[in-house]
Amino acid sequence: MNTETHFCLRVDIDTFEGLKKGLPNCIKIAKKAECPITVYLSLGKYATGRNIFRRIKKKESISLKLPPWRRNSLKSILRGLVIPPARIGEKEKSQLRYYNHLEEIEFHAHGFNHVNWSSNFSNFTKEKTKEYVDAFISEYEEIFNQKPIANAAPNFQVNTHYFDYLKAKGFKFSSDFCYNEPFILKPHDLVQLPITEPTIEEFLIQGKNPEQIKEEFEMSLKAKTDTELNYVCLYVHAIFEPVKFENLLENICKMSFKYDMKPISHGDYYKLFNTFPPLEYSDVLN
């Protein structure tokens, strides 16, 4: 039995500013910490400011300890409201193709039209679901000249049509849940590589400072290796932690070596292991 604990750092790019400013910082951290990153790249339109309409509609509360203007750049907050939405242009595509050849990074899809997906994807019809999945597949193929093998649903918004269609299109795995270990989602037979750790954002909302957050991760990662868990996955957003908490994130990544973990990307982890426990969707939520 393999008792080595594998450490995955998942980076979501869901703002245009995260793509332009955050991604280079992510790569710098990956090189310095010798920790590969798994990037889930939002495709389609970037209109982050329109999230305000979702918050109003769903009556979502705003934490005063981590308000949107602290978490996002000003341009991201205004994009789609007073600044036009953005798309990945030829300059960004060229840069992404260059990054895609680096050994420290691996790119997967993160849905299509992030704000729209986040707002109502769980209620999409089969036809609308297929439209959005086909759209991100097409754009991913155009950028990277290869078929996507994985996706992460924006805002963890999923539906049964989505899982069926990913499987039908030959996807190898997806990352759509928070859970304590990888599993095979039944009845769709799709491997899930979930997020396992609390986010830096969550600790900030609790009122913890960077030093306290570092201590939290020290205790958590040590406990994971002491109990010989196979898989750990931390999740960050490119516009936030790699930009505003670069040193903290680098220190957390370096902890993987301190506790004899093996830093690994989602794709490489999937290649190493092919046996996961089966779970029904309802079991994941409980």
Higher pLDDT, 94 or 83: 94
pLDDT at position 274: 75
3-state secondary structure of 167: helix
E strands in 193-264? 231-237, 262-263
CA 146 to chain centre: 20
Higher pLDDT, 148 or 1: 148
Q: Which domains does the chain have, with CATH numbers?
A: 6-285 (3.20.20.370)
pTM listed for this prediction: 0.93
Question: pLDDT at residue 19 above 60?
Answer: yes
Residue 92 pLDDT class (50, 70, 90 cuts):
very high
Q: Give tens-digit pLDDT for 127-142.
A: 999 999 999 999 999 9
pLDDT at position 53: 59
Q: Give tens-digit pLDDT for 152-198.
A: 999 999 999 999 999 999 999 999 999 999 999 999 999 999 999 99
Tokens of 117: 């997906």
Average pLDDT for residues 210-231, to the nearest whole number?
Answer: 95
Question: H/E element holding 35?
Answer: none
- Give the number of C-alpha atoms closer than 13 A to the C-alpha of residue 99, restricted to the C-beta side: 26
Contact 50, 77 (CB under 8 A): no
pLDDT at position 56: 54
